Amino acid sequence: MALNMDAIGKMIGPISREYTWKDAALYALGVGAGFDELEYCYEKDLKVIPSFSIAAIFDFLSHIGVQSNVNLAGILHGEQELIFHNPIPPEGKLTTQGKIINYYDKGPGKGALVVGESETFHSNGKKLFTSRLTIFSRLDGGFGGENAPKKEIMFPNREPDFVVEGSPSKDQPLIYRLSGDVFPLHVDPEFAKMSGFQMPIMHGLCTHGYACRALIKSLIPGQPEKVRRFDCRFSKTLYPGKSIKTLIWKIEEGKALWKTVNAETGDTVIDFGVFEYGDVKEEKIMFDGRVAIITGAGGGLGRVYALDLAKRGAKIVVNDFGGTRDGSGQGASGPADKVVEEIKALGGSAIANYDNVATIEGGKNIVKSAIDAFGKVDILINNAGILRDKSFIKMEKENWDSVLNVHLNGAYYVTQPAFAVMKENGYGRIIMTTSAAGLFGNFGQTNYSAAKMGLLGLMNTLKIEGAKYNIKVNAIAPVAASRLTEDVFPPDLLPQVKPELVSPMVIYLCSEKCPVNGNIYNAGMGAFSRASVVTGPGTVIKKDSGYPTVEDIVSNIDRISSIKDAKEYWQLNDLVGDIVTVFSAPKTEAPKPKEQAKAEPTQKTGFDSVKSVFENMPKAFNADSAKGIDVVFQYVISGTSGGEWHCIVKEGTCTVKTGVHDKPTTILKIGDANFLDMMNGKTTPMQAYTSGKLKIEGDIMKSQLIQKIFKIN
């Protein structure tokens, strides 16, 4: 099967993983740490070995394999470069996003290289590391691509400054694989032999971890937080139980070259090592090359956002209709022009736009101005607003419509064309401006409050639709002096409610470093906090005699209304799923006796049984794709709804039968639930295989024909 050329440049992720100190300590044990390096293994003042990073994002690595369509039977980790921006905390949530950046062809029979790059952020908002990895695929060469540029490192012609010995045990892969890399090559003797090895081999990344420990111990003892770069090439396999030596040459302050060798044979197992270290440099958030649209930027908050982004390198479209506070009048160019002049005086780049966000034409023209002047849109801050306050009884339809047209419809009119550009480019940051009036209510502002809460609904769906295109949508609820609030705050309070005290949060949410999506932040007077919609656990009222009554609600209203242990939901389906789960099996319900328990259906959509998959397999058969193919696939499905089936593909025909074939070409073993997840598209065959859920015996390479000749998903 050929490499997927269309995968180059397409965004993968975001992929998230939560971890605790136990994961970091287990990794440390897996790469040989122990009582002599207790800081890596004991939760008290725990420090994380930097090479833990690549184990922590192993799921992302499997996505590189899936997207590239690499041949599983011949893959090895080729090269790995890690750039560390901040120390890895002992627990938290990691979010990784990246892409395949190139394929290199070493020639027929010589293999291919798949190069992927990613960035990982911590839930604390900091970028932790950048990974650039190369997968060596022995069976995918000869596709006509360019060869990889030659990489050479000249080691000093002298003895190394440090030699650190390591003694991985014969069981080392069994410990290391618990950190995520459960590929059978490192544990299954039969699989290893089919892949051309005498026995299961060491994970290259396990040896990599031994080397990382050795470098820290020699150059920055006890200070893993100072590691800045860790780069190498995996040269030769190593069998468990073989001693290793890491040879280190310090070539200048903050930089060393290294390699790891088999202590018995002298063979180099990891080569071309580069290790850089030093204090973390403060990273200034910059927007060089980014293009930002700010609506209502002729004064107040919008003006400050525009100036702050411009100071950090962004090109700005300053939009302002130039109307009055209530949105009336013919508009004016003065406010926008003045801000553009300020930006240019600072050495920045900006243009003015005077369109009204409250019209669909205005929204399109604002985005068109950005494209015409700067070629793209990366950032949109929906800031434009007006006020027409009146109590609800006195609220005329004109005042209602005018406020919703600017705040809510205006955000729609501008965001839709901007979102299309961002989707095409695979990047975007969108800010909605909500308000405490929308979150909590405010007398005399029904129109304003409704519009501001409506913006959160818009945000909540856009965060889902934009996630896979690296478009993040968040909301700010500012408390600041502006044209809309100039008569709200007493004069002595005005210095404390300057827009400059809100802007840092907005600038952060506009940045590449922003890891959050779909969040609401209060900001004002230098204080910042997150607001959220949460759902209480509630209670289930079940009556054998029929539906709950109003009286049942009265009896249970305290439990229904409680928000103790409340929960956030990412999307509607998550809430519905919880409701269905709670209703079908409430926590207070006693468990059924084992003899009465019945297996619940694994799937609610798609294939609902293992049997139905095999019944439909002939219908999914593509005879044209099966020309010249002669194979027998044997399926061994474990579990209560499992069984044994075999599929015979020969001379463009497909025959599916129950039972065991006497001479199968390829045997696939998997549990019933995991099989249905795979058939219903919830997991891919690659993910099932690399996670150990799917085991393949016999001719492994022939298993890849299944996706070619069957169109099940």
Catalytic residues: 448
Greatest pairwise CA separation for the chain in angstroms: 90
Q: What residue type is assigned to position 589 of the chain?
A: E
| CA–CA distance, 148 with 233 (Å, rounded to integer) | 13
Query: What are phi and psi for residue 443, nearest 5 degrees?
Result: -55, 135
> Among residues 204, 212, 207, 209, which one has the least CA distance to residue 275?
212
Instruction: Output the six-digit token pair for 424.
Output: 């095409």
* Tokens 């002096």 sit on residue: 481
| CA–CA distance, 288 with 573 (Å, rounded to integer) | 38
- With 0-12 / 13-18 / 19 or more C-beta atoms within 10 angstroms meaning exposed / middle / buried, residue 669 is middle
Helix %, strand %, coil % of the chain (to 5): 35, 25, 40
Q: Count CB-CB contacts under 10 A for residue 232.
A: 24
* Tokens 């006020």 sit on residue: 387
**Residues making up the chain, counted from first to last:** 713
DSSP state of 554: H
| CA–CA distance, 449 with 452 (Å, rounded to integer) | 5
Give the Å distances, CA to CA, from 704 to 69, 371, 632, 660, 689: 10, 44, 13, 21, 12
Give the Å distances, CA to CA, from 37 to 166, 209, 298, 700: 13, 13, 58, 41
Strands in 184-300 per DSSP E: 227-234, 244-252, 255-262, 268-277, 291-294
Q: What angle do CA 472, 435, 362 make, to 5 degrees?
A: 65
